Chains A and B, each alone.
Chain A
């Protein structure tokens, strides 16, 4: 088992832009992290997430109907 604390403190959001439908579900699920551009596509923070942001990010990842969002470990 990986230590979940270490994983959670060093993660980033990543989007697969080819999979995203631009309907914007993620912005409702993670309003503090994700905004939508003028065409309705999400603008994803490119930095490492703060610990308290991770739960919101996880909601967006789980709720994305296209599975276009991923939480990845910062390498």
Chain B
């Protein structure tokens, strides 16, 4: 059997159907609890952004499952951020690896006579190519002895990819037969991936790439599994999705895409953090390597600051976009994010000390006070900009800008 290290094994623009998938990888063997050990052994972390150890997420599920009637395994493929496309690429090119992961996971968690499992693929409305690819994949597997699978669509909105939103929608769908975007349930923030619904039935959510990697580990085993990273880079021609090995540095990655050396990159996307280029250029594009430097790859989003762009202005634009994405249910997010965006916009024009003080104060009021992590990410991104672009901030106090030295700003 040919061992393929890559999650994205189908060439760009091509979809691997079920026959091609099993020709290349063989039929998926039935999985047992040893998968849990294998996933722990390779120390797989969640690729939706949080990088939580995957196997650790399963401990509470294993406890709940002994008394539960049903486990729902959810593939979270709702990639809300415009600068992310890795999950869509997987859904379009290798949908069966994702389903392999969900099937393998269900089989390894649900053993004995207690519980049954079903599989939900959570996807944005409007992503028609991914939808048809995954729906076809589900149809192609129709005759197999696997848990029932279905697709749930969410209105296209950034925060609907939050695992808390996913859990709520799945709960509501179970109760009412219909997935509402934001039904109200109290989710335990200590265990946002698992929510017993009224029947005590666990719901386990994993990001699409994470699920594909679980599928990979189920197929090749811990020894042969190789940790690659899937990234979406904002390059001059548009978004580029690449799968790289842990020996690739940020410098080689951007050079391979013809990206001009930036002064900073936004790592982890709109809810991530700005990092000076000199700090990151020679680091490996690898979640573990980055963690040792106190950085996070998040959902693999890399946005280099283009030479003609002002980091502060870009931050203001992103903050405004994030404010617009708030579901406007929680006060500190509904009022806090527009305040952050407005102050950041003022500062990107002329950095007055009063506005800066106010921004710091408002940023201190927001984290941890919403029902989801959307506002926390926005604040993290903004505060990192104030540090990384400190020199430019100084210029902006004199109405000047490093990116546009000649243009005198208002």
Q: Chain A: residues with CB nearer than 8 A to chain B?
A: 16-20, 22, 37-41, 43, 46, 70, 75
Assess whether B336 is in contact with A17, with CB atoms less than 8 Å apart. no
Q: Which of B184, B331, B332, B336 has the most CB of A within 10 A?
A: B331
Assess whether B184 is in contact with A17, with CB atoms less than 8 Å apart. no
Q: Which of A18, A20, A37, A43 has the most CB of B within 10 A?
A: A18
Assess whether B331 is in contact with A16, with CB atoms less than 8 Å apart. no
Assess whether A37 is in contact with B371, with CB atoms less than 8 Å apart. no
Q: Given A39-B335, A40-B331, are A17 and B365 also a contact pair (CB < 8 Å)?
A: no
Assess whether A17 is in contact with B330, with CB atoms less than 8 Å apart. yes
Q: Name the one of B186, B329, B332, B370 contacting A37, with C-beta atoms under 8 angstroms.
A: B332
Q: Given A37-B365, A75-B190, are A17 and B329 also a contact pair (CB < 8 Å)?
A: yes
CB distance from A34 to the nearest CB of B (A): 13
The verdict on B53 contacting chain A, using a C-beta distance below 8 Å, is no
CB distance from B9 to the nearest CB of A (A): 41
Q: Given A17-B371, A46-B368, A75-B190, are A39 and B184 also a contact pair (CB < 8 Å)?
A: no
28 residue pairs bridging A and B, Cβ less than 8 Å apart: A16-B184, A16-B371, A17-B330, A17-B333, A17-B369, A18-B182, A18-B184, A18-B329, A18-B330, A18-B371, A19-B184, A20-B330, A20-B331, A22-B331, A37-B331, A37-B332, A37-B365, A38-B365, A39-B331, A39-B332, A39-B335, A39-B336, A40-B331, A41-B331, A41-B332, A43-B365, A46-B368, A75-B190
What residues on B are CB-neighbors of A16 within 8 Å?
A: 184, 186, 371
Q: Which of A17, A37, A75 has the most CB of B within 10 A?
A: A17
Q: Complex Cα distance A19/B182, Å?
A: 12
CB distance from B137 to the nearest CB of A (A): 35
Give the bracket for the number of chain B residues in contact with chain A: 10 to 19
What residues on A are CB-neighbors of B182 within 8 Å?
A: 18
Q: What 20 additional pairs, Cβ within 8 angstroms, besides A43-B365, A46-B368?
A: A16-B186, A17-B329, A17-B332, A17-B370, A17-B371, A18-B184, A18-B330, A19-B184, A20-B330, A20-B331, A37-B331, A37-B332, A39-B332, A39-B336, A40-B331, A41-B335, A41-B369, A43-B369, A70-B186, A75-B190
What residues on A are CB-neighbors of B369 within 8 Å?
A: 17, 41, 43
Q: Complex Cα distance A22/B362, Å?
A: 17
What residues on B are CB-neighbors of A17 within 8 Å?
A: 329-333, 369-371
What residues on B are CB-neighbors of A37 within 8 Å?
A: 331-332, 365
Q: Complex Cα distance A19/B370, Å?
A: 11
What residues on A are CB-neighbors of B331 within 8 Å?
A: 17, 20, 22, 37, 39-41
Q: Which of A16, A40, A46 has the most CB of B within 10 A?
A: A16
What residues on A are CB-neighbors of B371 within 8 Å?
A: 16-18
Q: Mark B369-386, 1 if CB is under 8 A from A, else 0.
A: 111000000000000000
Give the nearest-CB partner of A75 in chain B: B190
What residues on B are CB-neighbors of A43 within 8 Å?
A: 365, 369
CB distance from B51 to the nearest CB of A (A): 23
What residues on B are CB-neighbors of A41 within 8 Å?
A: 331-332, 335, 369
What residues on A are CB-neighbors of B329 within 8 Å?
A: 17-18
Please provide the chain B residues from 324 to 376 with a CB less than 8 Å away from any CB of chain A in the complex.
Answer: 329-333, 335-336, 362, 365, 368-371
Cβ-closest 3 pairs across A and B: A41-B331, A17-B330, A39-B335
Q: Complex Cα distance A20/B334, Å?
A: 12
CB distance from A53 to the nearest CB of B (A): 20
Give the nearest-CB partner of A22 in chain B: B331
Q: Complex Cα distance A75/B182, Å?
A: 27
Q: Complex Cα distance A46/B190, Å?
A: 13
What residues on A are CB-neighbors of B336 within 8 Å?
A: 39
